[in-house]
Amino acid sequence: MQQGLPGDEVIIQTQGHAGLIRLNRPKAINSLNEAMVSGMKAGLDAFARNSDVTCVILSGEGERGLCAGGDVRQIYAAKSASPEDRTRFWREEFPLNYTISHYPKPYVALMDGIVMGGGVGISAHGRYRIVTERTRLAMPETAIGYFPDVGATWLLPRAPGEAGTWLGLTGREIGAADAIYAGLADYHVASQRLPELVHALADVSFAADVGAVVESFSSKPDADGILAPHQRRIDAAFGFDTIEEIIDALVSAEDSFAKETLSTLQLRSPTSLKLTLRLLRLGRGSSGLVECLEREFAAGCEVLRNHDFYEGVRAALIDKDRNPKWSPATLDEVSDEEIDSYCVPTEPPLFRGHRL
């Protein structure tokens, strides 16, 4: 089976018993658009029905990474469109994240290079998440006036202690060791061995044997992470339920890690920080991924009715001046009532009518 030619944005093909999904926008670090989401869905549906396919392997073309996230330029460009058109990408992307989380066959994500935002959504919900020495993983949304979505408010609260809170609020990049520690990945495999791993998986006839093959290629990450050594400091500062208390704890800590973290938070959208913390705390007590995706979709719809997302994208990707003017500009100006408005469920629910 083969769908897609080398110039297509998603290439769907089989190799032995493996179904391959290859993201093919290397110049954009395989940033997701609607066509790519549709292509992935079609490939997953076809592989689920194909009895010869034992597992599905996701990879990204090019040297830079698996996926740099959703194509926020596309959403930015739709600023003046109808609410339905502005949110169409998420209406397609979020159900894809759920499909991956419940996929009936082993789903193997090769998280090589840059894996950010939407790239985390199409990998970290899979059954076998493989990082390499080149992995640079992040949920950097607070830097563009947004918040971690694609089910991150389900995944991040399940990291050890407050590591997920730190990741979601700061948007900082982490490597292989930290991705595994945070529960966003399972195995480390040297990047040069990934083609050999794909070949080995293609020879696997039984789904139950996929895990053993992956594990046979795994090795300890060469570089140590930053999360485990700083877990105590992270827990002490990020265990609070308001950004103001987190800021005060970081100011009081006075160590280099706290100072660096504080400097990062001070550059983020105040609204995004408060909204992200609210969603992470709600995610901690949620019943499952769908509840978090529904809540994230509602918050995203409200984000597109306000200022900071468009200003953040402008500063980071359009004008590239790296100098966003957030509004409100300070934490004091962002009320609890304003954050409440981001958490009103959409009607009809996002997942109504979808085959779950």
Active site residues: 70, 118, 141, 149
For residue 203, what are the CA distances in angstroms to 52, 53, 129, 198, 218? 11, 10, 19, 9, 18
Name the DSSP class of 332: G
Residue type (1 letter), 305? R
Cβ 168 vs Cβ 197: under 8 Å: no
For residue 138, which of 154, 127, 124, 128 has the smallest C-alpha distance?
124
- Residue matched to tokens 């020495």: 133
∠ Cα 77 142 341 (to 5°): 80
Count of CB atoms within 10 A of residue 341's CB? 14
d(CA 18, CA 200) in angstroms, rounded, equals: 9
Chain CA centroid to CA 290, Å:
15
d(CA 78, CA 74) in angstroms, rounded, equals: 7
Q: Is 28 helix (H, G, I), strand (E, B) or coil?
A: helix
CA dihedral of residues 313, 152, 160, 279 (deg, nearest 10): 80
For residue 327, which of 341, 343, 338 has the smallest C-alpha distance?
338
